[in-house]
Amino acid sequence: MSREVVVTSTGAAFEQRIEAGPHRFRSDEPAAVGGADTGPGPYDLLLAALGSCTAMTIGLYARRKRWSLERVSVRLTHTREHAQDCADCEEKPARIERIERRIAFWGNLDAEQRKQLLAIAEKCPVHRTLTGTLEIRTTLADSGSGGDQ
């Protein structure tokens, strides 16, 4: 079940107040780019979504199989690389967005189990959303309904 997430600017340069159900936290940019670093940046949040979904999906699969997976760690980085030879790219010069995901498992697992768990990472819902066809529809909302506080 999906719930609405509300993001509202605080008035500071980049800082945003985020409400996700009962959870309240902030997002910001690092000081080096003009923010106050009061919370994770947008790409940090994107990586956190992918990493937490990956670990949850792997954990669920291992529990269903009754494997002795004790812990999962997912380390992620995001980079933008300029593609030198992208003949079909509409945007010149082309950029390739890349997420590196490194997964570590703790527990009494054999090589085949580790291989299967790594394959399951590709099936996490956030991974599928990011690698599938994603449509974002943007509409203008009444400023009174934006969750202002």
| pLDDT tens digits for range 52-86 | 999 999 999 999 999 999 999 999 999 987 666 55
CATH class of 41-134: alpha beta
Residue 148: per-residue pLDDT: 47
Q: Is the pLDDT of residue 46 over 90?
A: yes
Would you say 68 and 107 are in contact if contact means Cβ atoms under 8 Å apart? Answer: yes
Mean pLDDT of 94-108: 93
Mean pLDDT of 21-42: 95
For the chain, the domains span: 1-40, 41-134
Query: For residues 142 and 116, which has the higher predicted lDDT (pLDDT)?
Result: 116
Distances (CA, A) of 21 to 4, 6, 137: 7, 9, 22
